[in-house]
């Protein structure tokens, strides 16, 4: 069985000690083992990043950007190989894996604008012979901790931008599907990144705690589940670090009575069942305003759920692959059991799905519940599987109250032809990312990504303009060059232009 190493100071490092199995979720086989770093291994990465920082912070932003241009080319040239690596360990379809990679590459493109992004602000003659400017300076050694569900895209939300801003980076990817993440990081080294600027250290809680506790690490970006996001935010900020910690979600789609139902159903199918529901922006609740639209939705969507093409993610032309691990499959099945026990109407049941030839894969079929209420665990909790819940309400106001009362506030959308309803929804809904007839409103790379409420701990969203703010600190410089032979007397009143 192959062993997945760390990448420290430009070299593959085996590390010592513990390891964890990595599975092919489509077959259920363990295909490799990933090293779980101990503190000494993590310290090697921290030392390498710290040593690389003085030269890197002084490397011109245009040179840093040139490396990102080459990185983008390499990512595009290796698209098929990366998609195959993602699919083999995550289970998502190859087309979906290519989609995630392309959205990741958009963040590399944004990072290519480093010289423009880092210009700062300048004011001449703020006082007599005095000029002032604000520099955007790097923070130093920063770290990212990422989830399993986007092993290519989410790390690319973080380190390209952190690095072009002049920081050195330590990435701790998910231990469940680390191969594509490592492969991509090696491409950045091939693109000419100096040793130590990017380090990838695999591991679990021990590795994360080593990053939280290291005084050399000045900032932490986290994406994953809410309990861990909250832990990292509180432990990191307690130690004076900057932290942005993105957590879990329960994303609602509101169907108004005037919605274009055929298009809304297509949108819901992709957003609920794409990637087997393992997306933080997946739609898991359809809130139908009125029984008429709810009945029509059930009638149209049931045959489409039953017709989902499900199989090994690595085959072509499928809609959905397996869940990531046996534990994830069992958890999702447990929620379906609970939904039945708590009185929801199970319209399509994915629990019994067997994929011929892949009998040991971690599959659950597309599942639909109707008449779900807000006290059921299938409604309150993030299931992170191919389960769509229909909640019936009487008005848009009731739909919005339901969404605003939920603990998560990552994404949401409304399907309607009514501009007034859409505008009210955008204004009043307490959710960070909103779609109007767009089911997965994931912001493009030049806007920033982030939820509200317990979907984000911290002030700044991920990537885009907020990413630049997170990975730089401002220094305001005021500079006076007196005109020749002039002499200014001591001034005891607070200086002003008055
Ligand atoms: P997870 O929280 O289990 O793991 C995320 C990272 O934290 C991994 O690198 C993992 O090794 C580490 N980790 C796990 N347990 C830890 C512990 N006790 N202490 C310290 N570190 C620990 O999340 P996951 O299952 O990999 O990913 C799915 C979750 O991520 C879902 O909740 C999903 O909504 C969320 N997610 C959110 C966003 C977003 O942008 N808000 C994006 C993608 C995924």
Rounded to an integer, the average pLDDT of 307-320 is 92
Q: Check pocket membership of 223 for ligand 1, CB cut-off 6 A.
A: yes
pLDDT for 491 equals 85
Question: What is the rounded distance in angstroms from the CA atom of residue 378 to the CA atom of residue 388?
Answer: 9
Would 495 be classed as within a structural domain? Answer: no
**Average pLDDT for the chain:** 96
Count of structural domains, the chain: 2
Q: Check pocket membership of 244 for ligand 1, CB cut-off 6 A.
A: no
Determine the straight-line distance between the first and last CA of the chain, rounded to whole angstroms.
75
The yes-or-no verdict on residue 15 having pLDDT over 80 is no
State in Å: Cα 174 to ligand 1 middle: 8
The yes-or-no verdict on residue 484 having pLDDT over 80 is no
Would 82 be classed as within a structural domain? Answer: yes
Q: Check pocket membership of 412 for ligand 1, CB cut-off 6 A.
A: no
CB atoms within 10 A of CB 16: 11
Complex ipTM > 0.95: yes
The yes-or-no verdict on residue 483 having pLDDT over 90 is no
| Same domain? 460 vs 425 | no
Domain ranges, residue 419: 251-436
pLDDT for 7 equals 98
Q: How confident is the model at residue 488 (pLDDT cuts 50, 70, 90)?
A: confident
Kind plus residue range of the DSSP H or E element containing 246: strand 242-246
The yes-or-no verdict on residue 486 having pLDDT over 80 is no
CATH number at residue 366: 3.40.309.10
pLDDT for 441 equals 95
Q: How confident is the model at residue 485 (pLDDT cuts 50, 70, 90)?
A: confident
| Same domain? 278 vs 408 | yes
| Same domain? 227 vs 287 | no
Would 493 be classed as within a structural domain? Answer: no
State in Å: Cα 58 to ligand 1 middle: 34
State in Å: Cα 146 to ligand 1 middle: 6
pLDDT for 19 equals 95
- Tell me the C-alpha to C-alpha distance, in Å, between residue 279 and each of 66, 150, 292, 417: 32, 8, 29, 27
Q: Check pocket membership of 480 for ligand 1, CB cut-off 6 A.
A: no
- Tell me the C-alpha to C-alpha distance, in Å, between residue 290 and each of 128, 255, 407, 449, 464: 68, 9, 24, 32, 39
| Same domain? 343 vs 470 | no
Q: Check pocket membership of 148 for ligand 1, CB cut-off 6 A.
A: yes
Rounded to an integer, the average pLDDT of 413-430 is 98
Question: What is the rounded distance in angstroms from the CA atom of residue 6 to the CA atom of residue 42?
Answer: 10
pLDDT digits (tens, 9 = 90+) for 330-386: 999 999 999 999 999 999 999 999 999 999 999 999 999 999 999 999 999 999 999
| Same domain? 257 vs 356 | yes
pLDDT for 490 equals 86
Percent of the chain with pLDDT over 70: 100
The sheet carrying 198-200 orders its strands as 11-13, 6-8, 198-200, 168-172, 141-145, 217-223, 242-246, 456-457
Rounded to an integer, the average pLDDT of 117-124 is 95
Q: Check pocket membership of 203 for ligand 1, CB cut-off 6 A.
A: no
- For residue 337, give the DSSP letter: H
The yes-or-no verdict on residue 489 having pLDDT over 90 is no
| Same domain? 228 vs 280 | no
Rounded to an integer, the average pLDDT of 256-260 is 97
Answer for the pair 236, 248: CB distance below 8 angstroms, yes or no.
no
Catalytic residues: 280
| Same domain? 260 vs 216 | no
State in Å: Cα 441 to ligand 1 middle: 21
Question: What is the rounded distance in angstroms from the CA atom of residue 442 to the CA atom of residue 464?
Answer: 12
Strand runs (DSSP E) across 36-129, as ranges? Answer: 121-127
The yes-or-no verdict on residue 287 having pLDDT over 80 is yes
**Ligand 1 nearest atom to the CA of residue 145, by list position:** 9
Q: How confident is the model at residue 128 (pLDDT cuts 50, 70, 90)?
A: confident
| Same domain? 428 vs 280 | yes
| Same domain? 145 vs 258 | no
| Same domain? 117 vs 242 | yes
Q: How confident is the model at residue 109 (pLDDT cuts 50, 70, 90)?
A: very high
State in Å: Cα 224 to ligand 1 middle: 3
pTM, two decimals, is 0.96
CATH number at residue 222: 3.40.605.10
Percent of the chain with pLDDT over 90: 94
Protein residue whose Cα sits closest to atom 11 of ligand 1:
204
């Amino acid at each position: 069985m192959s062993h997945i190493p760390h990448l420290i100071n430009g070299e593959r490092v085996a590390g010592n000690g513990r390891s964890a199995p990595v599975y092919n979720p489509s077959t259920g086989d363990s295909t490799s083992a990933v090293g779980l770093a101990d503190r000494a291994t993590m310290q090697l990465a921290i030392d390498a990043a710290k040593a690389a920082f003085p030269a890197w912070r002084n490397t011109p932003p245009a040179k840093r950007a040139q490396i990102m241009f080459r990185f983008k080319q390499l990512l595009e040239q290796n698209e098929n190989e990366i998609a195959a690596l993602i699919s083999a360990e995550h289970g998502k379809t190859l087309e979906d894996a290519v989609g995630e990679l392309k959205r990741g590459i958009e963040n590399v493109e944004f990072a290519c604008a480093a010289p423009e992004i880092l210009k700062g602000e300048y004011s001449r003659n703020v006082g007599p012979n005095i000029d002032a400017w604000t520099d955007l300076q790097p923070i130093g050694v920063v770290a990212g901790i990422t989830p399993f569900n986007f092993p290519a895209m989410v790390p690319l939300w973080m380190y390209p931008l952190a690095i072009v801003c002049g920081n050195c980076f330590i990435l701790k990817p998910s231990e469940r599907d680390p191969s594509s993440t490592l492969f991509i990081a090696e491409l950045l080294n091939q693109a000419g990144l100096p040793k130590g600027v990017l380090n990838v250290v695999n591991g679990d809680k021990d590795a994360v705690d080593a990053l939280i506790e290291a005084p050399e690490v000045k900032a932490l970006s986290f994406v994953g589940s809410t309990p861990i996001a909250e832990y990292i935010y509180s432990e990191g900020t307690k130690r004076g670090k900057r932290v942005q910690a993105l957590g879990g979600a329960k994303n609602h789609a509101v169907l108004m009575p005037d919605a274009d139902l055929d298009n809304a159903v297509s949108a819901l199918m992709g957003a609920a069942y794409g990637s087997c529901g393992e997306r933080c922006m997946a739609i898991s609740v359809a809130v139908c305003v009125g029984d008429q639209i709810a009945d029509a939705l059930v009638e149209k969507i049931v045959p489409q759920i039953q017709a989902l093409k499900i199989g090994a993610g690595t085959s072509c032309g499928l809609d959905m692959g397996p869940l990531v691990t046996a534990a994830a499959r069992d958890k999702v099945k447990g929620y379906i059991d609970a939904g039945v026990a708590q009185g929801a109407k199970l319209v399509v049941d994915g629990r019994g799905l067997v994929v011929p030839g892949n009998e040991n894969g971690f599959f659950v079929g597309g599942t639909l519940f109707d008449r779900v209420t807000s006290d059921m665990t299938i409604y309150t909790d993030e299931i992170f599987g191919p389960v769509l819940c229909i909640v019936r309400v009487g008005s848009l106001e009731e739909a919005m109250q339901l969404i605003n009362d939920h603990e998560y506030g990552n994404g949401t959308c409304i399907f309607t032809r009514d501009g007034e309803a859409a505008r009210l929804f955008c204004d009043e809904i307490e959710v960070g990312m909103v779609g109007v007839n767009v089911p997965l409103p994931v912001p493009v790379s030049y806007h920033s990504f982030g939820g509200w409420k317990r979907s984000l701990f911290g002030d700044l969203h991920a990537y885009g303009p907020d990413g630049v703010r997170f990975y730089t600190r401002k220094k305001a410089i005021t500079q006076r060059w007196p005109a020749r032979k002039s002499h200014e007397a001591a001034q005891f009143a607070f200086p002003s232009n008055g």
